[in-house]
Amino acid sequence: MSADAVRQAPYQTLAEIYDHVMQHVDYDNWAAYIHSIIERFNWRPQNLVDLACGTGNITAELSKLDYAVSGVDISSSMIRKARKKSADIPFFVGDLRRLSKVEGLGPFDTAVCLYDSFNYLLTPADFKKGLEEVFRILLPQSLFIFDVCTERNSLRYFHDVRDAGNGPGFSYKRHSYYDKITKLQYNHFLIQLDSREEVLEETHTQHIYPWKELIAHIDDSPFELLGAFDGFTFNKGSARSDRIHFVLRCSESKTDQ
């Protein structure tokens, strides 16, 4: 922690500048890929939920593809931004580990959780709980699509990397680093808003799960694994992938839960 900075919860302040920091992301392409996965498995969603939706960028793109969508995120600051941008989409504040407790949420026939959001579940118990809670808000035979980043990705792109940027009324510095022993990826932000004198500090932490552990968690879950794809392709995903998209299906009856 920087001695002269005010520590913030993740996304408490970053929400204000998130869309600028992430302006390089091709959300159209993300939504198009999700659409192609849904079509590949001959599914016709009637009610889709975007979990860990952030400021709702992919949610909005999926809506443009004529999906009936809702969005959920743990950060109330991110959800406020999402609601301002897409007033016609229902957005909820909710934790991936407690989705069944969110009033008015679901049930859905399709869920997505994108941009390595499941990596924010920092313990195996949390990962297991996340899968169970997604299952609880889905109807029988529903699809769940999520992605994770791998150790290869952390070592290639986020191992002791520093960058900085600025935009209207703000500037920031970011330090990304990966701990191979703990398998934790850190993204540390120092944010300066023109409207505040203090430097604001946030640290975002992800658990980079090994391939075999991911498969074990899915095998132990109430879902059936339909596919694991190398990022944005239909090639088989593996430990050599930078990003892996998983496609899961709920059991037909859901009587096991």
**What is the band of 252 on the pLDDT scale with cuts at 50, 70, 90?**
confident
Give the pLDDT confidence of 192-238 residue by residue, as tens digits.
999 999 999 999 999 999 999 999 999 999 999 999 999 999 999 99
Domain ranges of the chain: 14-149+209-250, 153-207
The pair of structure tokens assigned to 140 is: 């029988």
Structural contact between residues 76 and 93, judged by C-beta atoms closer than 8 angstroms: yes
Examine residue 10 and say whether the peptide bond preceding it is cis (omega within 30 degrees of 0).
no
Please report which confidence band the pLDDT of residue 253 belongs to, taking 50, 70 and 90 as the band edges. Answer: low
- What homologous superfamily is domain 153-207 in, according to CATH? S-adenosyl-L-methionine-dependent methyltransferases (2.20.25.110)
- 156-189 pLDDT, tens per residue? 999 999 999 999 999 999 999 999 999 999 999 9
Same fold, 14-149+209-250 and 153-207: no
Q: Alpha-carbon dihedral of residues 228, 231, 235, 241, nearest 10 degrees? A: -80
Give the integer Cα–Cα distance in Å for 118 and 197.
34
Question: Cα 157 from chain centroid?
Answer: 18
3-state SS class at 48: strand
Q: CA dist 85 to 60, 91, 202, Å?
A: 9, 11, 24
How many degrees, rounded to 5, is the angle at CA 129 between CA 89 and CA 150? 85
Nearest to 232 by CA among 22, 21, 23, 26: 26
pTM of the model: 0.95
Domain 14-149+209-250 in this protein, CATH class: alpha beta
Give the three-class secondary structure for 107: coil
Q: How confident is the model at residue 251 (pLDDT cuts 50, 70, 90)?
A: confident
Q: Dump pLDDT digits (tens) for 10-57.
A: 999 999 999 999 999 999 999 999 999 999 999 999 999 999 999 999
